[in-house]
Amino acid sequence: MRACDRIRSSHGKRARSFNARSGGFVETSPERGSATSRRPTLTITPSPLALAGLGGNDASPKKALVSLNTGTNAYPYTVTSDVGWVDLAEGVTTTCATAGVFIAAPSLAAQDWASGTTTSGKLTITADVNGTAVTRTLDVSYLPDDLKLLVSENGISLTKTPGLERLTRTVDVRTNRGGGASWAATTAPMPKNAPCEKAVTMRTASSH
C-alpha cells in the first residue's frame, strides 16, 4: 500500500502530532498527503499593558489574556517581571486556543510614587509545550497620578411629584489607586420648597 493510500484510509481526518525537535505541530492533510510544521506561538492581549488608564486615573489591577495556537491542547505557562514595581497574580495557568489569564497591578510602594512620571518595564510569558519553551515579552507601563476620589454619579436629583417620587439615591465612591481612603460627603442647604424627607447613600465601592 502506498503512503497516500494509508492516509486516505484514516476516514479523511487530518493527522496531528508534535515534533519535539522543531518544537512545532505537524499536520498531515489527507487531501494533499503532505505534512506541514507549525511552531507554537503565544498571543497576549492587551499589548502593550498599561497599569493606569488615560491620564493615570485608574491604578486598579488589570487582566491580560494569554493564548497559544495549539487548538484544544493546553500547556502551562509562567509570567515574570524584570521590574520590582509590578505585582503579578496568575488566574488560569494553562493556555491553548482558550486563553489563560494573569493579573498585574502596581505594587503598594509604586502607588505612593510622585505623580506625572511614566515608568516602563517588561513581562516575560513562557509556555512549556512538551518540554519546549515558547516565550513572549510584553511591554508594561505605569503612570502614577495624584490620589483622587471617583464617584459613580456626576450629579443626582431627588424628586417628589404627585405622579413620581424618588427620594433615595446611592452613589459609589472609590479611589483612582484601588486602595482605601477616608472621605466624607456633605450637602448644600436645601431650598425652602424642597421636600423634607430625603436620603442620599454614599458607599465605598470595590476597586476591581
Q: What is the pLDDT of residue 85?
A: 93
Q: CA–CA separation, 62 vs 121, rounded Å?
A: 15
Would you state the torsion angle of the CA atoms of residues 9, 13, 14, 16, taken in this order, to the nearest 10 degrees? -90
Q: CA–CA separation, 177 vs 52, rounded Å?
A: 9
Q: Are 36 and 27 in contact (CB under 8 A)?
A: yes
Q: In sequence order, which ranges of the chain are alpha helices (DSSP H)?
A: 3-8
Q: CA–CA separation, 114 vs 117, rounded Å?
A: 7
What residues of the chain score a pLDDT lower than 70? 1-37, 53-59, 146-147, 176-181, 188-208
> What letter does residue 99 receive in the DSSP assignment?
P
**3-state class (DSSP) for residue 46:** coil
Query: Cis before residue 46, ω within 30 degrees of 0?
Result: yes
Q: What is the pLDDT of residue 151?
A: 79
Q: CA–CA separation, 128 vs 106, rounded Å?
A: 27
**CA triplet 189, 191, 197: central angle to 5 degrees?**
80
> What letter does residue 5 receive in the DSSP assignment?
H
The pair phi, psi for residue 112, each rounded to 5°, is -95, 0
Q: What is the pLDDT of residue 4?
A: 34
Q: CA–CA separation, 61 vs 83, rounded Å?
A: 16
The domain spans of the chain are 42-142, 149-204
Assign a CATH topology to domain 42-142: Immunoglobulin-like (2.60.40)
Q: Are 26 and 37 in contact (CB under 8 A)?
A: yes
144 exposure class (CB count in 10 Å sphere: 0-12, 13-18, 19+): buried
Q: How many CB atoms lie within 10 A of CB 200?
A: 14
